[in-house]
Every structure is written in C-alpha cells, then in structure tokens.
C-alpha cells in the first residue's frame, strides 16, 4: 500500500505548489485533480507532462487521475477519450470516474442498463491502454451503495471496472458489511475524517486529522488487507481548510499516519 494525496485537497493552489507540498509532507503517491487549475481545459499535453515530471521529481508516483467523466453524460465518449490521453501522459494506471447521476433508490431499470453499458465501453477503452477505472463511491451516483457497485460491475462484465472506496457516514461507518460486499473490487481509497461538531453548531461535523476522527482507518486498512488490497490510501480533504498554514501542518501529520498504517 501507499500513502497518497489527492490534490483536490489543495484545490485553491497551483498544481505544482500542491505537488511540492505533498512531496515535502512525505506522501508516496498523487491523484491529480481533474479540474482547473490542476488540469487544463482544453487538454494541454505540455502541461500534463510537466505535472508528471514534477510528481516524479518529488519522489512520488502519479498513480491516479481523478477525472469527472460520468457514465450518464451525453458526451461521455468524447470526455473519456481526453481523459485517457491525460492518464497516459501522467503515467497513471487508475482513472477515478463517476457512475451515473442518480442514487440507487431513484434509478430506473433504464438508468441501470444505460450506465452499465457506458461503463463497459469506458472500461474496454481503458483496458486497451492497461488502465483500471475506479468508480467513486459517492452520493448522487449509482455507486453510492455497495449493492449498486456490485450490480454495475457484474452487469458491465469487465474485469477493470473497480471501486474507489470511501466511508459514506462517519457516524455509522458500516465498514464490515460494505467491505464484505465490495472488498474484492477496491483498488483505491479516499480517506477523510471528522468529529462531532460542538453543540449548537449549524453543521454536524468538524474535519479532523485522518488518525484522530470517528473513523478508525487502521481498522479499515486491516479489513482491506484481507481482500488483497494493495493500493493507495489517499487524503482527500484536510483539517484546517481553507487556512493554508493549518492545512500544511495537517498534511504532514496525515502523511505520517498513513505511512504508518499502510506499512504495518
């Protein structure tokens, strides 16, 4: 396993500064955020190669491209072709993608069929280049639930359609049941943690360091190991956001914690 950093966590900064800060903090791999200012639109090969070189110069691996290609989009094929070019030039072997735009209880049979067919097409195109697709386990998508993930993978019938796992509800993480269903499909994981907000606050959660919140990531990693997981466990968001100094401090602590739990 590797301790990874998703540059979305520093989305307000220039991508090269974000990469340098991740290297200084001690992360081992990078997921490049697939939106400006970290990824250009329209596609710029020179910029992409410069991002790759900066990652490698920092002693890290550009293992994942965090795209926003969605299987429900009308222009999904055009978006996927560009995404594959970016991943190839970065040297990324995993592309994070999005599975539809409805949650399972709201999806029709047609939604499931259409998205599974598009995901199959996307995965086959990626397979030609030795790339794996990782569906984001996220609200607003068919991959929100473990059951939805399994249905899409089984229906698509392709071996390189996998999962980016993340804990949906820190208050009720449901780790054992969810991983019991999707553990063998996980190829990457986004890590973020939180604590209960003070009484009277207008929000439910306050962001915490990865090693100090409600979710026990040592336990999560130990569970994933039983399914043969050997990928990146990535910081997605940082304590202290948007204060840069606090975020940089959190990066160092999160990197140290992730290196510890992924190497033990």
The domain segmentation of the chain, as residue ranges, is 2-263
- Cβ–Cβ < 8 Å for 71, 109: no
Q: How far is residue 158 from each of residues 119, 141, 225, 243, measured CA to CA in Å?
A: 9, 19, 23, 43
209-254: pLDDT as tens digits:
999 999 999 999 999 999 999 999 999 999 999 999 999 999 999 9
pLDDT confidence of residue 91: 98
81-132: pLDDT as tens digits:
999 999 999 999 999 999 999 999 999 999 999 999 999 999 999 999 999 9
20-61: pLDDT as tens digits:
999 999 999 999 999 999 999 999 999 999 999 999 999 999
pLDDT confidence of residue 231: 97
Q: Does residue 171 have a pLDDT over 90? A: no
The crossing angle, in degrees rounded to 10, of helices 109-127 and 76-90 is 30
The CATH class, in words, for 2-263 is: alpha beta
- Cβ–Cβ < 8 Å for 186, 227: yes
- Cβ–Cβ < 8 Å for 256, 217: no
Report the C-alpha gap between 28 and 263 in whole angstroms.
Answer: 12
pTM: 0.97
Report the C-alpha gap between 90 and 52 in whole angstroms.
Answer: 5
Report the C-alpha gap between 215 and 50 in whole angstroms.
Answer: 36
The crossing angle, in degrees rounded to 10, of helices 217-225 and 244-263 is 40
- CA nearest 181: which of 157, 214, 160, 153? 153
């Amino acid at each position: 396993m590797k301790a990874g950093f998703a540059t979305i966590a520093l989305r307000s900064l220039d991508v090269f500064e974000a990469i340098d800060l991740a290297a200084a903090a001690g992360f081992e791999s990078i997921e490049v955020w697939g939106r400006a200012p970290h990824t250009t639109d329209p596609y710029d090969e020179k910029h992409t190669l410069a991002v790759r070189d900066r990652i490698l110069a920092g002693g890290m691996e550009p293992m994942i491209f965090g795209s926003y290609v969605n299987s429900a989009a009308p222009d999904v094929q055009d978006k996927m072709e560009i995404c594959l070019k970016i991943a190839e030039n970065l040297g990324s072997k995993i592309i994070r993608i999005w599975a539809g735009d409805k949650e399972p209880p709201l999806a029709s049979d047609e939604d499931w069929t259409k998205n599974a067919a598009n995901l199959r097409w996307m995965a086959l195109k990626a397979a030609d280049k030795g790339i794996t697709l990782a569906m984001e386990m996220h609200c607003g998508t068919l991959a929100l639930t473990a059951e939805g993930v399994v249905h899409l993978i089984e229906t698509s019938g392709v071996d390189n359609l996998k999962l980016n796992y993340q804990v949906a509800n820190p208050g009720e993480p449901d780790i054992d049941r969810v991983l019991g269903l999707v553990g063998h499909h996980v190829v990457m994981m986004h890590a973020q943690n939180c604590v209960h907000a003070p009484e009277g606050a207008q929000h439910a959660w306050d962001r915490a360091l990865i090693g100090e919140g409600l979710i026990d990531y040592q336990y999560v990693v130990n569970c994933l190991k039983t399914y043969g997981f050997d990928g990146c466990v990535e910081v997605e968001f940082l304590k202290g956001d948007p204060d840069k100094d606090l975020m940089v401090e959190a990066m160092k602590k999160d990197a140290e914690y992730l290196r510890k739990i992924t190497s033990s």
